[in-house]
Amino acid sequence: MKRFANQNVVITGAAAGLGRVLAVEFAREGARVVIADKNDAAATVAEARQAGGAADALRCDVTKEADVVAMCEQAVALLGGQVDVLVNNAGWNGKANLVKDMKLADWEFTLRVNLTGTMLVSRGFIPAMMQRKRGCIVNISSNVGRRGLPFRADYVCSKWALLGFTQTLALELVAHGIRVNAVCPGPIVGDRIEQLVKMHADAEGVPFAEMHRAWENVPM
């Protein structure tokens, strides 16, 4: 039996990258998947359906409260009130700047996406989960959610804060049968990591190939 048969999964930021992989794998395991992304997620929907699961997409910019409220209401209605899993994957890498050069707008936007966006989406789905007294929320943090990283203070702080948010929400919802956890991935092969390596190489004045080698020390 497929592990997520008869379960409904909502994933933010799944038009591409890690979110797209998660959507397809959940579908492969029998889940019905709803993808929430500000970008066109038609390709993810098609791949998820091809993998054997039902899939739909809803447009949503997690930095906009009205967008999030509307998306959550649509998703709950679409899924008949049954939201088994929420994956808060939507995120922003920020820009590579030292703190002394950090623009306030850049700092605030990164926190708006990574932290406030996660809060808004979680808040939107909690009532449906509480009504059924079951559910699971997974927040995508980062390996730099537990350590520092020069040139990335906004991103690092957002991911550290996300761990505090996760632990707090877990304590608030445990009595309602809802589990809340975070995962902290390191670099993942794909277009996004290539862009990130180039961003660091340019900011730090290091050749791309050298920076790429420094980021390749991931065991698996």
Q: Is residue 3 part of a domain?
A: no
Return the axis-axis angle of helices 17-28 and 42-50, rounded to nearest 10°.
30
Average pLDDT value over all residues in the chain: 93
Q: Are residues 162 and 200 in the same domain?
A: no
Quick check: 180 and 170 in contact, CB under 8 A?
A: yes
What CATH code is carried by the domain that includes residue 14?
Answer: 3.40.50.720
| Total domains, the chain | 2
pLDDT reported for residue 166: 98
Q: Are residues 120 and 163 in the same domain?
A: yes
**pLDDT above 70 (res 148):** yes
Q: Is residue 56 part of a domain?
A: yes
Quick check: 32 and 9 in contact, CB under 8 A?
A: yes
pTM for the full predicted model: 0.91
Q: Is residue 129 part of a domain?
A: yes
Q: Are residues 124 and 153 in the same domain?
A: yes
Q: Are residues 199 and 115 in the same domain?
A: no
Is 155 among the catalytic positions?
Answer: yes
Q: Are residues 181 and 200 in the same domain?
A: no
- What would the mean pLDDT of 78-95 be, rounded to a whole number? 96
Which residues 6+ apart lie within 8 Å of 202 measured at CB?
96
Looking at residue 2, its amino acid is K
Which residues 6+ apart lie within 8 Å of 138 measured at CB?
85, 86, 87, 88, 180, 181, 182, 183
- Model confidence at 196, in pLDDT bands (50, 70, 90)? low
- Dump pLDDT digits (tens) for 66-80: 999 999 999 999 999
Task: Pull the structure tokens for residue 59.
Answer: 């447009």
Quick check: 31 and 85 in contact, CB under 8 A?
A: yes
Q: Are residues 108 and 209 in the same domain?
A: no
Q: Is residue 42 part of a domain?
A: yes
Q: Are residues 169 and 218 in the same domain?
A: no
SS3 138: strand
- Dump pLDDT digits (tens) for 163-192: 999 999 999 999 999 999 999 988 777 777
Q: Are residues 170 and 64 in the same domain?
A: yes
Q: Is residue 128 part of a domain?
A: yes
Q: Is residue 103 part of a domain?
A: yes
Please state, for a pLDDT cut of 90, what percent of the chain lies above it: 81
Q: Is residue 100 part of a domain?
A: yes
Task: Pull the structure tokens for residue 70.
Answer: 């509307």
Query: Domain range for residue 55?
Result: 8-186
**pLDDT above 90 (res 216):** no
Q: Are residues 96 and 17 in the same domain?
A: yes
In the set 155, 173, 197, 211, the catalytic residue is 155
- What would the mean pLDDT of 190-214 be, rounded to a whole number? 74
Of 14-18, 86-90, 162-166, the range with the lowest mean pLDDT is 14-18
- What would the mean pLDDT of 112-140 be, rounded to a whole number? 98
- Model confidence at 200, in pLDDT bands (50, 70, 90)? low
Q: How far apart are CA 59 and CA 44, in angstroms?
A: 13
Q: How far apart are CA 21 and CA 27, in angstroms?
A: 10
Q: CA angle, 157 as apex, 23 and 98 as ends, to 5°?
A: 115
pLDDT reported for residue 220: 67
Q: Is residue 57 part of a domain?
A: yes
Q: Are residues 44 and 88 in the same domain?
A: yes
Q: Are residues 149 and 193 in the same domain?
A: no
Q: Are residues 200 and 114 in the same domain?
A: no
Length of the chain: 220
